């Protein structure tokens, strides 16, 4: 587990594998997370971590939140319903994302760091 402090001093704990992207000034912007965390419900075993890529840059995260608030997700949903090519591209992106999550599990499970 890695503890990251954001710009206002709040700490977040993530199950980090590596820094996936950095800002121009070298700060981590995206963290690649291990897709499992110790179970919080039973204290035995594991449960899925909800995201493979965790946005760690406050300003970028705020911009994304603002776009979501302004309805961009709904616009994407509508486009996927109307545009078959966009739907197929999203479907392929989901397959690649699932494969990436599985790959992190397999590689880390073999002891690679």
> What tokens does 78 get?
């509508």
pLDDT tens readout for residues 34-89: 888 888 888 788 888 888 998 988 899 999 999 999 999 999 999 999 999 999 99
pTM above the 0.75 mark?
no
Paired sense of beta strands 16-22 and 28-33, if any: antiparallel
Domain count, the chain: 1
Banded pLDDT at 9 (limits 50, 70, 90): low
Rounded Cα gap, residues 80 and 44, in angstroms? 40
The whole-angstrom separation of Cα 44 and Cα 51 is 21
Which residue, among 45, 54, 69, has the nearest Cα to 20 in the 3D structure?
54
Q: 39 is in which domain, residue-wise?
A: 2-109
SS3 43: coil
Q: How far apart are CA 96 and CA 94, in angstroms?
A: 5
Least Cα distance to 13 among 2, 24, 22, 21 occurs for: 2
């Amino acid at each position: 587990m890695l503890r990251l402090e954001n710009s206002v001093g709040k700490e977040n704990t993530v199950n980090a594998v590596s820094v996936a992207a950095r800002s121009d000034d070298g700060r981590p912007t995206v963290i690649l997370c291990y897709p499992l965390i110790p179970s919080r419900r039973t204290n035995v075993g594991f449960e899925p971590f909800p995201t493979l890529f965790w946005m760690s840059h406050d300003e970028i995260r705020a911009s994304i939140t603002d776009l979501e608030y302004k309805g961009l997700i709904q616009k994407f949903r509508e486009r996927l319903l109307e545009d078959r090519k966009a739907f197929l591209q999203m479907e392929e992106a989901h397959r690649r994302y699932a494969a990436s999550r599985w790959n992190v599990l397999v590689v880390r499970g073999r002891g690679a760091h």
